C-alpha cells in the first residue's frame, strides 16, 4: 500500500493521511489474487449484517469487590466509606467502582450509588440511608461504647469519647471504637489502657495508633512527665517586652524601664552624631 507513495513528497500530515486513505480504498476494492471477490465485497456480505449499533455510553473499566456492611451502614472501598441503606447492616454486598462512581449491589440489585471520592473526605453518606435516630442499630449507642471503654480503663474511655467527638456523625466513629473492642480481646485491660493513655498524650487519636503502640510494646514504656521550664532569672541585661515597642508610642513602657532608656538613648545618640557632624564641618 505504501509502495505507490514512496516517490511522493508530502508537506503536511493531513495531506499524507488523505493519500493513505485513497490507497486503502483501492486495496479493499481490489480482488484477491485468484479470487473473484474483494475485501469490500466480503465485508458487505459477511460482516456488515452482523454489526450492531454502538452503546449509548462509553465503556468504563470497573473494579469489583465483595464487602460486608458494617454497623455504621457503610462499606469500605479504597480507604473510604460509602453508605448503603441501614437495613442492609451485616449483609454481604458487591461493590462496583469506576473512576466516576461507586455502586453497591445486593442480591444482584443496585441499592446505592455515589460519586467516587478522590479528596480528603473519608465518609460519603447519603442522608436517605440513615435510619431515624439510628434506631436500627440502637444497641450500639455512643453511651454504650463509652461505657464499655470505661470498663477497660479511664484512658480507653477518654479515647473513645475523643473518637466520637471528632466525627460529624458519631456513628462514623463506631468502626474505630469496635476496633478498640477487638484489641481488648487480644490484650489485657491494663495494656490497652496504657496504650490509649500514650495515644492521648501524643495526640494520636485513632485506632491504628493504639494498635501500633501495642504492636511495638510502647505501652510498657513509662510516659515521661511534661518538662516544666524554670522561669528566667532577673538580670539587668534581660530585655522586657517594651524593648520592641515603637519609639514614641504612648503607654509602651517595659516593667523594668528598658524601653524608656532605649528610646532616650537612641535620641541622645542622634543628637551626638549630629553635633559631631557639625563640628567636623
Helix (H, G, I), strand (E, B) or coil at 68: strand
Regions in the chain scoring below 50 on pLDDT:
135-138, 251-281
How many whole angstroms separate alpha carbon 146 and alpha carbon 174?
A: 11
The DSSP 8-state label assigned to residue 8 in this structure reads -
Residue ranges covered by each domain of the chain:
13-49, 63-135, 140-220
pTM of the predicted model, to two decimals? 0.41
CA 211 to chain centre: 20
Give the tens place of pLDDT for each residue, 190-200. 999 999 999 99
pLDDT of residue 228: 75
How many whole angstroms separate alpha carbon 174 and alpha carbon 172?
A: 6
Residue 198 neighbours by CB under 8 Å, 6+ apart: 213, 218, 219, 223
Instruction: Map grid coordinates 470505661 to a residue.
Output: 150
pLDDT of residue 133: 55
pLDDT of residue 267: 43
Instruction: Map grid coordinates 448503603 to a residue.
Output: 84
Give the tens place of pLDDT for each residue, 47-82. 999 999 988 888 889 999 999 999 889 999 999 999
From the number of C-beta atoms within 10 Å of its C-beta (0-12, 13-18, 19+), residue 99 rates as exposed
pLDDT of residue 119: 86
pLDDT of residue 97: 97
Are residues 28 and 39 in contact, defined by beta-carbon separation less than 8 angstroms?
Answer: yes
Are residues 148 and 181 in contact, defined by beta-carbon separation less than 8 angstroms?
Answer: yes
pLDDT of residue 21: 92
How many whole angstroms separate alpha carbon 27 and alpha carbon 38?
A: 9
How many whole angstroms separate alpha carbon 84 and alpha carbon 280?
A: 90
H or E element in which residue 160 lies: helix 154-165
Are residues 84 and 69 in contact, defined by beta-carbon separation less than 8 angstroms?
Answer: yes
pLDDT of residue 121: 77
Amino acid at each position: 500500500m505504501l509502495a505507490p507513495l514512496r516517490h511522493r513528497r508530502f508537506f503536511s500530515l493531513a495531506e499524507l493521511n488523505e493519500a493513505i486513505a485513497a490507497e486503502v480504498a483501492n486495496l479493499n476494492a481490489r480482488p484477491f489474487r485468484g479470487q473473484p471477490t474483494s475485501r469490500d465485497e466480503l465485508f458487505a456480505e459477511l460482516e456488515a449484517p452482523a454489526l450492531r449499533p454502538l452503546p449509548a455510553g462509553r465503556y468504563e473499566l470497573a473494579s469489583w469487590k465483595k464487602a460486608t456492611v458494617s454497623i455504621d451502614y457503610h462499606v469500605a472501598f479504597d480507604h473510604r466509606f460509602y453508605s448503603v441503606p441501614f437495613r442492609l447492616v451485616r449483609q454481604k454486598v458487591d461493590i462496583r467502582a469506576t473512576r466516576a462512581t461507586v455502586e453497591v449491589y445486593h442480591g444482584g440489585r443496585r441499592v446505592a450509588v455515589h460519586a467516587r471520592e478522590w479528596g480528603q473526605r473519608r465518609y460519603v453518606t447519603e442522608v436517605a440511608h440513615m435510619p431515624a435516630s439510628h434506631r436500627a442499630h440502637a444497641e450500639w449507642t455512643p453511651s454504650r461504647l463509652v461505657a464499655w471503654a470505661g470498663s477497660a480503663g479511664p484512658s480507653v474511655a477518654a479515647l473513645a469519647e475523643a473518637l466520637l467527638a471528632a466525627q460529624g456523625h458519631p456513628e462514623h466513629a463506631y468502626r474505630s471504637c469496635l476496633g478498640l473492642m477487638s484489641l481488648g480481646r487480644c490484650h489485657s485491660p491494663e495494656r490497652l489502657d496504657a496504650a490509649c493513655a500514650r495515644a492521648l498524650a501524643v495526640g494520636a487519636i485513632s485506632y491504628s495508633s493504639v494498635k501500633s503502640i501495642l504492636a511495638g510494646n510502647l505501652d510498657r514504656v513509662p510516659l515521661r512527665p511534661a518538662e516544666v521550664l524554670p522561669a528566667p532569672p532577673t538580670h539587668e541585661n534581660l530585655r522586657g517586652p517594651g524593648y520592641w515597642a515603637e519609639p514614641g508610642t504612648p503607654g509602651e513602657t517595659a516593667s523594668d524601664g528598658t524601653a524608656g532608656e532605649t528610646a532616650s538613648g537612641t535620641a541622645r545618640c542622634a543628637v551626638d552624631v549630629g553635633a559631631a557632624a557639625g563640628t567636623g564641618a
